[in-house]
Structure 1
Amino acid sequence: MIANRLKLVCIAAVMVLTGCASSQAKWTHPPMAVPFQPTIQQQIQLARIDQLLKRDDLDKATVAQMFYERGLLNDSLGLRDLARLDFNQSLSLKPNQPDVFNILGVYFTQSAHFDAAYEAFDSTLELNPQHPFALRNRGIALYYGGRLALAHDDLLVHYQQGVNDPYRVIWLYFVEFEQDSETAAQKLKLRYDASDKQDWGWQIVRLYLGEITEAQFLNEIATKSESNDQLAERLTEGYFYLAKVYQQQNDFSAAVMLYKLALAGNVYEFVEHRFSLLEISRIMTAYEAQNGPKDTN
């Protein structure tokens, strides 16, 4: 019943979107989900780990694992400074942890410390060449760091390892768009045609290819999300990737607004949430360098 009510609210919100195709896009009551909240299970697990860490009869490997697990919990709650402290504590006790280097690399990317990010991802891949996320994450860090050729190398290999994953296609497209926008669109189409099109994320690719409109894209999210959690996750993705469209069109006010909407669901673990603040910061820095400070609230 609650899910149905949320769906009806979101459908109504989609219907009052206005001006979406113009360069001065305005949204009235955009689709929203109830933001993620800390669960009782997360809070109990945090308390349990805190109690265990007070014991003095645990070996270093066990304590390192507990710091890592508490770091993941803090990260999932948006407590990233606390999470980073836990991850560093874990590494100090057990230095050969590829997963810890990987998440720290993501944190360095978020804070635009790109050289540190590259080193962290290099460490991950040295410890585990088959790590499922480090190659992608290093490619994204290289993209944000402006090292497009190296970013393309990483993201192309990552795409080739999973050609039916739409997000691999999308991040590769971002790099190729910066290199040659027309060729990037052609390659995006070829990769879409070659995929199995099963994952929901291919709707994002269809939006980029102009096969569906912005209103249809948001309506798809609103009507086909099966729970509030799924709605929050898909809106986080949807608003982030829609913001990239407006950013590519130099409509920075609309892009900033959409990045803020991507942050609104509190889906802290998604890369789209992680990098929305970085995107806003990049837009603001570029704008202020050219025009002086501007209030985008």
Structure 2
Amino acid sequence: MFKRSFAAASKDRAGKARKVSKRSFRDDAKQRMREALNDATPDTSPSLGGGSPKLNSAIVTIAVGKDLRLFAAHEDVLARSPWFAEACQEQFFSSPGQRRITLSDEEPEIFSAVLEYLYKGDYYPRLLHDKKRDTWALEDVAADLTSNLDSKKTGGPAELATIYHHGVDDFILRDTVIYCSALRFALPDLQRLALRKQGLQTGIDVATIMRSARFAYANTPASDSRLRAHYLALIIRSRKTFKRSGTMQMEMEKGGTQLFFDLFVAMCNHIDDVVEFGQVSPSSKVLR
């Protein structure tokens, strides 16, 4: 990779010159994207739109998860979600210190991401856009892994992409759960963000994908097909891996879910498209 250094010197208090460390062009690009994200506010975020929230509004307490972990948020921030706006309205006659919403079926880590999105327009790890290449990537978390986690417990990006869900009693994809929570709280922009982030995840094992797909089907209506379609496309695109998978074989034999009928239909459509493409001659393509 082409690297360029910037030989700049600055004076410290003692009057001595101090060299600036060399950085690659990619490092500089990432730093500029991070600075742009850090400067972003709900007012400037394309995800949130509208005006910035009033941070002097009433504080609402939210009890989340089976252990009822407590969160606090400004009412005007929560009201960006129609679901929370209605819930806060029900608390209108309660005294400011007594306003409380209980979400015992939500995971605290997931609600934390939702709350971060309501305040900042994104959630960790943030989505970075390289305007020059017009590509998207997830914020690099390698430094945080090194400093915050024990090396024996780290499994790389694939492990960071999952969360232990008490309702499933196993690990599933974090962005899938965030998508379903965004659907519940009527936050379509957060749904799109979670889906885009999940599309950037790699190295996920078949068992985790299948558990996550079942969760997606169980927590989305048939009318909301984007997340379901994502899993169908993923399985078809990676069919060589899934074809060799004992987990996939066991799931197919067990069956009994809408997922596998949809997968069958999607595979048939895929085959039909391939056959139709092979039967169309170059001349007929021009005539069409």
Name the structure with the higher helix share.
1
TM-score bucket of the superposed structures, by smaller chain: under 0.3
- Relative contact order: is structure 1 or structure 2 higher (C-alpha 8 Å, sep ≥ 6)? 1
Q: TM-score, structure 1 length as denominator? A: 0.26
Q: TM-score, structure 2 length as denominator? A: 0.27
Name the structure with the higher strand share.
2
